[in-house]
Amino acid sequence: MSKLQPKIISTLKNYSKEQFFSDLTAGIIVAIIALPLSIALAIASGVSPEKGLHTAIIAGFLISLLGGSRVQIGGPTGAFMIIVFGIVTEFGIGGLTIATILAGIIMILMGVMKLGGIIKYIPYPITTGFTSGIALVIFSSQIKDFFGLPIENVPIDFLAKWQEYFKAFDAINLQTTIVGSLALLIIMVWPRINKRIPGALVALIATSIIVQIFGLNVATIGTKFGEISSQLPKFELPIFTIEKIKYLIAPAFTIAILGSIESLLSAVVSDGMIGGKHRSNMELVAQGVANMMSGFFGGIPATGAIARTVANVKNGGRTPVAGIVHSLTLLLILVIFMPLAKMIPLTSLAAVLIIVAYNMSEWREFKMLFKSPKSDILVLLITFSITVMIDLVKAIEIGMVLAAFLFMKRMSEVTNVNINNLDAAEEDENEADNNEEYLLKTFDKIMIYEINGPFFFGAAHKFFTALNELGDKTNVLIIRMRNVPAMDATALNAFRRMIEICYHKHIEILISGINEQPYSVLKKAELVEIIGEDKFFKTIKEAVDYAEQYLIKSV
């Protein structure tokens, strides 16, 4: 079980000067990578550019300081863009603040309750479906700025959005499109020239200079937001009301689940790179605290960022110090250089997010899932479609419910009830492994029901069907449960119904080979006492021998 202790405590015990300089270098490089992404994600989420940096600074610092991973880098990510934009559109910045704080509280509770390991049970088709859906929505949201389309208010609905785009494509701003294409080209080509300096930063600087020198008619951060503040954010306590919480708790849960999935996935990826082992529950607590404080300081939701975490590891970061340096570097940039951000072309930021969307799309994984069972493909496509066409909250809810039903269906398919009415000439070949080979002597009055697999509500109907086949000649019913690892309340109800049926038909019930969990369930429900302790046998042979003696006595 993951313990609740920040990784920084253990990593600093044998901290060296050499490691500090490695962490320092990695932290600075990651901060340069995070700079354009934080600004771009903030604008795409419907908030002012500096809020992205505020989030990266505050949340990033706390995630590194309190987190359960050695190398996790926290900050705003593309996964939150859709949900954040929707909250801002419907409830304003105040609503976003409350939702972010509520999400933080939920994540802290998940960590304290040690639910860090449960996240891994979310089916892969669901995570791939909504991640690919988010990527498509991010890409779609950048078309207006990339081509400089003269659309006043872009619709939120996916289809309506593209209808507006097609109507406005005749009015493409050529200068904007050229600058955006140049930024896109630089981002794609630059890693072949230099892998340490991020191509996104080079693209933003280069295109900003070009736009200013040639006086191009290209929209910039300044033309949209005016002067960009370099002041530090102030702590503000939002006004919580029952009504606001009622409307914002659902998106808050979505933020919490998304943040948990992405942060723990990032921690797992980084563990594989450094040969470490993160503390999942502590990571959730840290993510929760970070989101709460981000909300109090007017920031947006944050989580562990896989790309930035990988960049941290590749550049020598091995302790949380690197993440702290990353936050402090961004703080320095905010105070000194933030006013210059007003010169950045919006089309260049759109290019940055188009690359983010491509990297998020997981199209290869999406394609590979089409080789999976049809039920998994169905979950994938439904989650993807609902994410794109409706919203992420509904996608996760419906995807999880559908996956649960399909899982239950599969489990019920592997559970079966075999009905045996063996005569003297028939041998139970399955007993060879237990050295229990024997021949039943005569008696067609002994019915054997063998349950194979988990006995739960998805398979209980098979047992009910078998009970209806109990004939008038049956005097003894043996329930063979050697292959039942567990049973639930529905199975328990099936047992009660079986006891009632057998009581009315004067049929003796015997239980063979029951395992510990099913036995404890029956014991707690007082069914062991009703059936009789002496009616439980270790082997089928013991049960049949007892049945034979019972029939002889009852003659």
Q: What is the DSSP string of 104-140?
A: HHHHHHHHHTT-TTGGGGS-HHHHHHHHHHHHHHHHH
Mean pLDDT throughout 181-194? 94
CATH architecture classification, 415-554: 2-Layer Sandwich (3.30)
Residues 6+ apart with CB under 8 A from 516: none
- Model confidence band, residue 421 (pLDDT cutoffs 50, 70, 90): low
Which neighbouring-strand residues pair with 345? 220
Residue 432's pLDDT is: 41
Phi-psi label, residue 420: left if phi above 0, alpha if psi -120 to 50, beta otherwise:
beta
pLDDT at 140: 94
Greater pLDDT, 294 or 430: 294
Share of the chain above pLDDT 70, in %: 94
Closest CA to 72 of 7, 3, 1, 4: 7
**Rounded mean pLDDT of 404-430?**
64
Which two tokens mark 69? Answer: 């991973």
Give the pLDDT confidence score for residue 555 in this predicted structure.
Answer: 64
Q: Specify whether the CB–CB gap between 114 and 1 falls below 8 A.
A: yes
SS (H, E, C) 500-517: HHHHHCCCEEEEECCCHH
Give the model's confidence band at 423: pLDDT under 50 very low, under 70 low, under 90 confident, else very high.
very low
Domain boundaries, the chain: 7-404, 415-554
- pLDDT single digits (tens) 215-228: 999 999 999 888 88
- Count CB atoms within 10 A of the CB of residue 465: 11
- Does the pTM of the predicted model rise above 0.85? no
The candidate with the shortest Cα–Cα distance to 74, out of 237, 246, 305, is 305
- Per-residue CA distances from 455 to 36, 406, 462, 470, 514 (Å): 54, 17, 10, 20, 12
User: What CA–CA distance (Å, rounded) separates 204 from 343?
Assistant: 9
State the greatest distance between any 2 C-alpha atoms of the chain, in Å, as a whole number. Answer: 108
The CA-CA-CA angle for residues 162, 163, 165, to 5°, reads 60
Residue 446 has pLDDT above 80, yes or no: yes
- Output the pLDDT for position 120: 66
* Residues contacting 132, CB < 8 A, separation 6+: 360, 361, 362, 363, 366, 384, 387
- Alpha-carbon Rg for the chain, nearest whole angstrom, is 31
- What type of residue sits at position 453? G
Residue 467: both structure tokens together: 């009970």
